């Protein structure tokens, strides 16, 4: 029987939030809107959060080598990897 990891679900949810927040922040800068994110004010902070989340996932995978990652979660991780470069 497969067990779901609440830690991994939390990481995926936070990752999606970060990606969507970053995209919204980028759009507001391009269009000249005055709205700003309260949580992440700079791209450097967002990239740092991205790196921290990826390291947490790596640690989790080392502790449980049989970790099952959903296909949608893998998509999120690949987007995170591309956005951090």
Q: Over the stretch 3-33, which tens digit does the pLDDT of each residue have?
A: 456 656 667 777 767 666 665 555 445 454 4
Q: Is residue 22 part of a domain?
A: yes
Q: Is residue 1 part of a domain?
A: no
Q: Is residue 28 part of a domain?
A: yes
> What domain range is 67 assigned to?
6-83
Say how many Å lie between the first and final Cα of the chain, rounded.
37
Mean pLDDT score of the chain? 66
Q: In whole angstroms, what is the distance from residue 41 CA to residue 73 CA?
A: 26
Consecutive H or E run containing 83: helix 71-83
Q: State the pLDDT at residue 3.
A: 47
Beta carbons within 10 angstroms of residue 74's beta carbon: 10
Q: Is residue 37 part of a domain?
A: yes
Q: State the pLDDT at residue 42.
A: 72
Report, in this order, helix, strand and coil percent for the chain, each rounded to 5.
70, 0, 30
Collapsed DSSP state (helix, strand, coil) of residue 49: helix
Percentage above 70 pLDDT, the chain: 46
């Amino acid at each position: 029987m497969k067990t779901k990891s609440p830690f991994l679900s939390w990481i995926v949810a936070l990752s999606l939030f970060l990606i969507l927040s970053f995209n919204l922040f980028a759009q507001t800068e391009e269009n000249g809107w005055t709205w700003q994110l309260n949580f992440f004010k700079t791209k450097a902070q967002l990239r740092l959060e991205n790196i921290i989340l990826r390291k947490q996932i790596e640690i989790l995978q080392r502790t449980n080598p049989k970790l099952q990652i959903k296909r949608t979660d893998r998509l999120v991780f690949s987007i995170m990897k591309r956005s951090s470069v």
